[in-house]
A = this chain, B = another copy of it.
Amino acid sequence: MNMRRAFYIGRFQPFHLGHYSIINSIARDVDELVIGIGSAQKSHEPRNPFTAGERVMMIRHALEDADTTHYAIPIEDLQRNAVWVSHIISMTPPFDIVYSNNPLVIQLFREVGIEVRQPPMYHRNNGYSGREIRRRMIANEDWKSLVPPAVADVIEEIDGVGRMKQISKTDID
User: What is A's interface to B at a CB cutoff of 8 Å?
Assistant: 10-11, 13, 40-45, 51-54, 56-57, 60, 71-74, 76, 78-83, 85-87, 89-94, 101-104, 106-108, 111, 124, 129-131, 163, 166-173
Contact = CB atoms under 8 A, between A and B. Distances in A.
- When all copies of this chain in the complex are counted, the total is 6
A74 B73 contact: yes
B73 A56 contact: yes
Contact of A167 (B52, B89, B107): B107
Nearest to A69: B60
A170 to B, nearest CB: 8
Closest 4 A/B residue pairs (Cβ): A82-B90, A44-B81, A103-B169, A83-B86
Given A91-B52, A173-B131, A44 B83 contact: no
Interface centre among A51, A74, A83, A108 (most CB of B within 10 A): A83
A41 B99 CA distance: 24
A121 to B, nearest CB: 9
A173 B93 contact: no
A108 B172 CA distance: 18
Nearest to A13: B173
Nearest to A47: B173
A11 to B, nearest CB: 7
